[in-house]
Structure formats: C-alpha cells, structure tokens
Structure 1
Amino acid sequence: MTSKQQTGPGIGELGKDAASGRIGVVMGKVGGRAQMRPVRGGVEWDALPGNVVALKAREELSARLAVRNGNSRVGL
C-alpha cells in the first residue's frame, strides 16, 4: 500500500516556507517547528513543518544560481 501523504524536504535540503514565501535550507526540527536558514547564510527562522514545501525546479535553480553568483563576487 502506498501512502498519499506528502513529505517536505529533509534536513540539508532546500525548501520554501509557504507562509512567508522565503526559501532556505532545512536545518532541523525542534519543538514542533522546522528551523530554516537563508540560502546565502544568516539567521535561522522557525516555520511550521506543514508549511515547508519542496521547491519547484525553477525556484531551486534560481536559489542555487544566486548562491553561485554571490560566491563568484567574493572570489570563492
């Protein structure tokens, strides 16, 4: 039997907080909340686990490209 329940992105994967529209890396889950960090680094924020969804292909490409461009500006 297959489950129809969707699961969000796992720890270390990119995800989108549907409530705020912010894209980040899922860092962990603490106290019933998912902790996410901005793709370019920074302060983590808490999101409801049900609001953390997988990115569409275009969103993921855009996020990865932004990181790559930022790294090239500082010589990484």
Structure 2
Amino acid sequence: MSAGRYVIDSRTGRVGQVMGREGPYVQLRPPGGGREWDCPPEAMAPAPPGEVLRARVRAINSEGRLP
C-alpha cells in the first residue's frame, strides 16, 4: 500500500492512514492524527469508500480545531 491511503487493520477493525514502512510492518496513523501503530501487511485491507470519507472528514475537522 502506498503512503496516504486509508486501510483497515483487520486485527482490530481500526481505520488508519498508511504513513510508511518500518521493517516488516506498515505504520498506520488514525484519521485526524494520533499515535501510529504497526500493522503486518497481510492484516491490512483496503478501506471501503464510506470509511475513507469518514476518515477524511475527521482529519479535516481536527485541523479546524488547531489554534
């Protein structure tokens, strides 16, 4: 998966944005920011369009709250 794409971590059901790779893992970040987590590539699935839209709205909303 390329950086910037939204995926689902099938182990937890969490949606994350691909940030890059670290060793054998892909690093994911929650929509709108937060702490990254590692996910094995085989546990990732493309996020459905509705989830991607929700993730983008959350990210835009969190940017609007910054001072």
- Class of the TM-score when normalised by the shorter of the 2 chains: 0.7 to 0.9
* Alignment partner of 1:56 is 2:48: yes
Q: Percentage identity across aligned positions?
A: 34
Question: Where is the strand percentage greater, Structure 1 or Structure 2?
Answer: 2
Aligned equivalents of 1:70, 1:43: Cα separation in 2:
14
Residue 4 of structure 2 aligns with which residue? 12
Q: Give the structure with higher Rg (CA).
A: 1
Alignment of 1:1-76 (within 5 A): 9-72=1-64, 74=65
TM-score by length of 1: 0.73
Structure 1 unaligned spans of 5+:
1-8
Deviation (angstroms), 1:67: 1.9
Instruction: Quickly say closer, same or farther: Cα 1:75–1:45, change in 2 above 3 A.
Output: closer
Aligned-residue CA RMSD in angstroms? 1.8
Instruction: Quickly say closer, same or farther: Cα 1:32–1:66, change in 2 above 3 A.
Output: same
Structure 2 unaligned spans of 5+:
none
Q: What amino acid is the match of 1:70?
A: S
Matched pairs, number: 67
